[in-house]
């Protein structure tokens, strides 16, 4: 191994006024994704599914998840927004970017970064159901069960977490922190 192979990029430090508390380390996430991919293979391995990545937050999770899935499937993307730049939900969901492929008669695996109130998922589920898929299964990396007022059913869940705002591994705070290899809670501290 040469000196370049040994170098590891350090993730950015917290923004001013923030302290990050790690909830799930990179290693935990890798391990959980390996387990999830086995569960997904058992249910969808012979169904030629379409994996739908909900942008932007799920892009890192989906990139790692699909590389653990060893059966035929296609991937497509959509983008829904409900939060804007705030940490408080606006209560409204809209589709900013739609799928390129038809999902009619296809088995869909809808992959989210996080289910909080369940509002986004509920909206996406009914939107996709109107397109006559063969089935829809839901996979999320994170779930805040205490806040899921919509009581949305989840088929594959990475981690249940407390009702706190988290960043990293694709999830952002005002566009920052998506590159963190771990999932962390953000604490506000005085500057």
- Residues forming the site for ligand 5GP (CB under 6 A): 57, 82-83, 89, 112-121, 165-167, 171-172
Give the shortest CB-183-to-ligand 5GP separation in angstroms: 9
Q: Where are the alpha helices (DSSP H) in the chain?
A: 3-6, 26-44, 59-66, 119-129
Does the annotation mark 85 as catalytic? no
Smaller CB separation from ligand 5GP, 103 or 154: 154
For the four alpha carbons of 164, 143, 35 and 51, in that order, the dihedral sign comes to: negative
Give the residue carrying structure tokens 């939060």: 83
Contacts of 111 (CB under 8 A, 6+ apart): 51, 52, 53, 54, 58, 61, 62, 65, 139, 140
Instruction: Give the shortest CB-191-to-ligand 5GP separation in angstroms.
Output: 22
Which C-beta is closer to ligand 5GP: that of 43 or that of 117? 117
Q: What is d(CA 95, CA 36) in angstroms, rounded to the nearest whole number?
A: 27
Nearest CB to ligand 5GP, comparing residues 70 and 85: 85
Query: Which of 48, 96, 116, 172 is the catalytic position?
Result: 116
Nearest distance from C-beta of residue 80 to ligand 5GP, angstroms: 7
β-pairing, 50-55 vs 74-81, is parallel
Tokens, residue 154:
């989840």
Which CB sits closer to ligand 5GP, 128 or 134?
A: 128
Whole-number minimum distance, CB 31 to ligand 5GP, in Å? 21
* Burial category of 123 from C-beta neighbours within 10 Å (exposed 0-12, middle 13-18, buried 19 and up): middle
Catalytic residue positions? 116
């Amino acid at each position: 191994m040469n000196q370049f192979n040994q170098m590891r990029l350090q993730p950015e430090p917290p923004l001013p006024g923030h302290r990050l508390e790690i909830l799930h380390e990179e290693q935990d996430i890798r391990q959980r994704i390996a387990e999830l991919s086995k569960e997904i293979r058992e249910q969808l391995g012979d169904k030629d599914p379409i994996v739908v990545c909900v942008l932007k937050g799920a892009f890192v999770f989906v990139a790692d998840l699909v590389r653990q899935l060893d059966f035929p499937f296609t991937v497509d993307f959509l983008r829904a927004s409900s939060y804007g730049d705030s940490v408080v939900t606006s209560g409204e969901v809209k589709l900013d970017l739609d799928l390129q492929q038809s999902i009619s008669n296809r088995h869909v695996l809808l992959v989210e970064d996080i289910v909080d109130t369940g509002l986004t998922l509920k909206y996406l589920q009914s939107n996709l159901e109107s397109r006559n898929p063969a089935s829809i299964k839901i996979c999320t990396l994170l779930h805040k069960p205490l806040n899921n007022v919509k009581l949305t059913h989840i088929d594959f869940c990475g981690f249940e977490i407390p009702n706190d705002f988290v960043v990293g591994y694709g999830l952002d705070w005002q566009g920052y922190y998506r590159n963190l290899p771990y999932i962390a809670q953000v604490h506000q501290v005085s500057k």
